[in-house]
Amino acid sequence: MTSLSGLVRLARPEGEIDVRCLLAGSVTLDNPASGPGVVPFHLLLDGACTLTSGTYSIDLSPGDMVLLPHGDAHVVTSTGGEIDLFCGHYRFEQGTGALLFRLMPAVVHVTLDPPALSLAEVLRAEAVFAGAGSQAVISALLDALLVMTLRSRPDQRLDTPGLWTAMGDDVLGRVIAGVLEQPGEAWTIERLAAEAAMSRATFLRRFSARTGTTVATLLTAIRMMAAADLLTRTNHSVTRVAREVGYRSESAFSQAFRAALGTSPARFRRASSSR
């Protein structure tokens, strides 16, 4: 399992189209900040427009897809011509997804490659058809487009480092995949550097440059994602969950879990069951 596949599996995002915009002339679309557990996206199939969010201003061309992992408010503008724009969002698991998207930059922008573009064309056809089974097809297509967006070429990525960038690094991606597969292992910096076939200093420099965070922060995030998944999908005791993600003490695990997700493991489980 690759690092990307593992992280997306834990987050369990579900895509949905909010509106397909077929517009002409001067257009301004104001998008307020999203609520918890929601990542907006825009997929442009025809025409040209500009997305502005915070300090980012991105000119979009046909085949461009933009995600806003932090759910920030943004504006889409078009000053002429016609546009065919899909506006939608991904909902994700409150625990695992929140940790995953928090480690990404505020804006993820890529130009889809030919295989992904072919899926976008199928998406357009399903939106036009809008018949029996269309919603299931659209949801599956959006899931695939998300993964294709996140695995895009590193040269397409914005300068902001983040987990997104690390997943595209062959060496760091392999190390992250190892942690995902065995979160309960004793992952010291020395062991991670050995897995990457680097010296400790070289590994830390590369890790910091690619992710913009520390090894401890990413390691804790992955462990908490795995823990949230176990609490949601199994009946394991909190003590067992703590052990399986690398904590010998239930109290230390509970403290780390609360710091990451703002609630205790037991309350998180109850809330997940209610949802």
pLDDT tens per residue across span 108-123: 888 888 888 888 889 8
Statement: residue 158 has pLDDT above 50: no
Look up the domain containing 267 and give its range: 169-274
Share the mean pLDDT of the chain. Answer: 85
**Percent of the chain at pLDDT above 70?**
91
Structural domain count of the chain: 2
pLDDT of residue 204: 93
Predicted confidence at residue 166, as pLDDT, reads 64
HSE-CB for 191 with a 13 A CA cutoff: 8
In this structure, what CATH number is given to the domain that contains residue 226?
1.10.10.60
Band the pLDDT of 143: cuts 50, 70, 90.
confident
Q: Which two tokens stand for residue 55?
A: 């300090």
**Count, residues in the chain:** 275
pLDDT at 197: 94
Same domain (yes/no): 125, 181:
no
Q: How far apart are CA 233 and CA 7, in angstroms?
A: 16
Q: Is residue 202 a contact partner of residue 240, using CB atoms and an 8 Å limit? A: no
Domain shared by 197 and 138, yes or no: no
Weakest mean pLDDT among 54-63, 95-104, 215-224, 229-238: 95-104
pLDDT per position as a tens digit, 252-270: 999 999 998 889 999 999 8
Average pLDDT over every residue of 56-68: 92
d(CA 54, CA 131): 38
pLDDT of residue 180: 84
**Which of 122, 155, 188 delimits the end of a domain?**
155
pLDDT value at 241 more than 50: yes
